[in-house]
Structure formats: structure tokens, C-alpha cells
Amino acid sequence: MNEEKKLKRLLAPDGALDLVKKALNTVPLRLNEENVFDCLLEVVNVVTAFQYNHHKKMEEIKTFYDDSEHFVLIAPLVSTIKKCGMDIYKSKKHQTFVYNHCYFKKDRLGLKRRDKTIIVSNKNIFLFTDYYTGPQRLSFIQAQVFQSTSLVNSKMVEELTPKTYNFVKEAASTIIQKIEALQKVV
């Protein structure tokens, strides 16, 4: 019963999942070839902020609804959140070409209390490409869109643009659809 209350609170108007849905509602409409990397940054930022605050709750809810009819709605939602979210919460099956190495900035307030804020930017999101041996920073890829200096970099952008477009479109639409379906059911 406790997990049902947690899920209802997350899905309530102005609840955490409802705010994620509202933030991602315009992404599929604005998504095009020119701003695909900006939309990726926006999706990863929204999902990471949600995941930072509610990861443990979502895992508890998922295990609670393991044998129910709601599992077909909750499991893809949690899986998509993990694919877009922080790498520390990803298992092998959630690995994609997007690496989210966001970090925590510790703020000291007083002598004993520490607050953490999460920092997500284009400098700590990496995309894996076939043209380089390791993942490249999103900031580097965004710079190559406007001023490509070599054939390898322009080919890298040509490879990553449709892949990122499909990833963002699929992730945003899956999250929005599953949250809407859960709001109708619960």
C-alpha cells in the first residue's frame, strides 16, 4: 500500500512524474535535424533531475507492481528513465550510445550540513561514435555542427544526428505515453 501512495504522489498534478511529462511535452514537437543535440541535452537534464530525487522510489514501485497489470506500464518507463539518466544507475541492458557522467556539486551550509546539487551540461554528456575510439563530449559535437574542420568530424555529425534524433524521439514519447497511461489507471 505504501508503494501505491508513492506512485499516486508522483503521478498527481504537479507531482514529480507529472512535471517530467510537462517538461518533455514540447520536445517531440520541436525536434528537428538542427536542434537534435539541444533536445538531447534537455531530455537528459529533465530525466537526470527526476532520477536524482526519485530513483529509489521508482525501483521500489517497480518491484511492488512486479506481478500486476501495471507492470507493463511501469517497467518501460523505468527502463527509459535509466537509459537517459545517470550512468551510475545503468546496468548492461540499459547502456546506449549516450553516456551521462553528471556530477554532484557539494554546497556547504554551516559546519555540518551538506547539500548536493546535480550538474548536467553538454560537457559531461558523451556520445559514442564509430569515428573515434572513445566517446566524445556533446559540447565538441555541437561545435562540429557549426564549424566542422575535418572530414572525420563532419562524418561523425552525419552519423550521430539521425541516431540521436531517433533516441530523443523514442525516449520522450515513451516517457510521456507511459506517464499518461499510468495517470489514467491509477
Reported as a single tens digit per residue, the pLDDT across 91-111 is 787 888 888 887 666 655 554
User: Please, is 67 exposed, middle or buried when counting C-beta atoms within 10 Å of its C-beta (0-12, 13-18, 19+)?
Assistant: exposed
User: Please, is 37 exposed, middle or buried when counting C-beta atoms within 10 Å of its C-beta (0-12, 13-18, 19+)?
Assistant: buried
Mean pLDDT of 167-177: 93
Quote the cell numbers at residue 124.
559531461
Give me the pLDDT at residue 177, please: 93
Give me the pLDDT at residue 95, please: 83
Higher pLDDT: 12 or 115? It is: 12
Cβ proximity of 163 and 36 under 8 Å: no
Residues 20-49: tens digit of each pLDDT? 999 999 898 899 988 999 999 999 999 988
Give me the pLDDT at residue 56, please: 87
Q: With a cut of 50, say whether residue 113 has pLDDT above it.
A: no
Q: With a cut of 50, say whether residue 2 has pLDDT above it.
A: yes
Secondary structure of residue 33 in the 3-state scheme? coil
Greatest mean pLDDT among 52-56, 92-96, 156-160: 156-160
What predicted TM-score, i.e. pTM, was given to this entire model? 0.86
Q: With a cut of 80, say whether residue 118 has pLDDT above it.
A: no
